[in-house]
């Protein structure tokens, strides 16, 4: 694509200009945006870039392994893998307010990056895969909307004082453009086509307190839901699909026993940029197949509901 080829070389020149001979740290979240940013910056400055993958314990099933293997094996880009599950889950204990969760996660990411920068003898820049919609939906540094809907962790969720300057080469792009750029850079189609996944991860899909146990329950339900979506050939028709674990218990019956377990909500939307969204109209047979599997296979969930809310008035994520 001519436009993306142009964008690629213009950005590479810009990154070189901004960074000079300084060191850059790039946080990989497991999603498409940070991966595309990392590959682009690596092309610009090579081994001045250190990529850090922080496992905050809030990833989906299998996600950490996929990113690590893509970077180490396919791209040969050195990757520091930080296991910070205890740090993140410890700090989230007792936190139930959605913005407090986001702020804590954003700040803790920066703490981990600062620590990793120190280990490599210092870094002047932090690279992020921030997109245009992230900028306009958060309070941006240059003054965004007067009402904060959510502090996207890579924009409004950052601490006010930070030692590193930001490198954000995707800041003008929408998601579909980032995917084009990813293809232009040679990222595999299956990777580029992945549904968006928010930086704060499963923490904002578990209203109420986040614990390891609840993350494990949600990961199982989410994996079943996505497996059924893939099997039905619907993955690429959907912008984003995920399960949410609710802090509500209801009564059920299984075999000849009573159950008293959590409710899981399923969300699936179509969208072009994440700023507005419509619900995906699954047929009833599909939804009942997923509900049956989740209740039968995931201990801790005994009821499944489907979220029928478009954006607006809902948002895509629940927090
Ligand atoms: P909402 O929930 O605001 O989400 O309708 C719009 C899109 O943004 C994603 N999202 C995030 N992405 N960091 C990110 O990188 C975040 O903190 C964040 N919060 C929401 C969300 O998954 C959806 O695609």
For ligand 1, atom 14, name the residue with the nearest CA. 198
CA of 108 to the centre of ligand 1 (A): 18
ipTM above 0.85, yes or no: yes
CA of 82 to the centre of ligand 1 (A): 23
Reported as a single tens digit per residue, the pLDDT across 257-291 is 999 999 999 999 999 999 999 999 999 999 999 99
Q: Per the annotation, does 31 bind a ligand?
A: yes
Q: Per the annotation, does 33 bind a ligand?
A: yes
**pTM (2 decimals)?**
0.91
Average confidence score pLDDT of the chain? 92
Q: Per the annotation, does 35 bind a ligand?
A: yes
Q: Per the annotation, does 237 bind a ligand?
A: no
Q: Ligand 1 in contact with 129 (CB < 6 A)?
A: no
Neighbouring CB atoms inside 10 A of 176's CB total 10
C-alpha to C-alpha distance for 26 and 249, rounded to whole angstroms: 40
Q: How confident is the model at residue 141 (pLDDT cuts 50, 70, 90)?
A: very low
For ligand 1, atom 12, name the residue with the nearest CA. 198
Q: Ligand 1 in contact with 128 (CB < 6 A)?
A: no
Instruction: Identify the three-state secondary structure at position 145.
Output: coil
Q: Ligand 1 in contact with 201 (CB < 6 A)?
A: no
Pairing, β 278-279 against β 24-28: unpaired
93 contacts 209 by C-beta, under 8 angstroms: yes
């Amino acid at each position: 694509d001519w436009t993306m080829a142009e964008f690629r070389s213009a950005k590479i020149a810009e990154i070189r200009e901004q960074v000079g001979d300084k060191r850059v740290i790039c946080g990989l979240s497991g999603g498409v945006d940070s991966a595309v940013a990392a590959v682009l910056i690596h092309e610009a400055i090579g081994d001045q870039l250190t990529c850090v993958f922080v496992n905050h314990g809030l990833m989906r099933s299998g996600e950490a392994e996929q990113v690590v293997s893509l970077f180490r094996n396919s791209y040969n880009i050195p990757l520091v893998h930080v296991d910070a599950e205890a740090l993140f889950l410890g700090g989230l204990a007792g936190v139930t307010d959605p913005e407090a969760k986001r702020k804590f996660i954003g700040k803790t990411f920066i703490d981990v990056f600062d620590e990793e920068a120190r280990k490599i003898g210092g870094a002047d820049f932090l690279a992020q895969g921030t997109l245009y919609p992230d900028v306009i939906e958060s309070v941006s540094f240059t003054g965004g909307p007067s009402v904060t809907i959510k502090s996207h962790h890579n924009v409004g969720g950052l601490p006010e004082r930070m030692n590193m300057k930001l490198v954000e080469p995707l800041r003008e792009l929408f998601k579909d453009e980032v995917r084009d750029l990813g293809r232009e850079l040679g990222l595999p189609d299956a990777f580029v086509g992945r549904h968006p996944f928010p930086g704060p991860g499963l923490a904002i899909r578990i209203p109420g307190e986040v614990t390891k146990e609840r993350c494990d329950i949600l990961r199982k339900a989410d994996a079943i839901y996505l497996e059924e979506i893939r099997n039905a050939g619907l993955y690429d028709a959907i912008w984003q699909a995920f399960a949410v674990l609710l802090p509500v218990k209801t009564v059920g019956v299984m075999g000849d026993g009573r159950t008293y377990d959590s409710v899981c909500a399923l969300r699936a939307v179509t969208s072009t940029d994440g700023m507005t969204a419509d619900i995906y109209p699954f047929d009833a047979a599909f939804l009942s197949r997923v509900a049956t599997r989740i209740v039968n296979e995931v201990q801790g969930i005994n009821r499944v509901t489907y979220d029928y809310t478009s954006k607006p008035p809902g948002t895509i994520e629940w927090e």
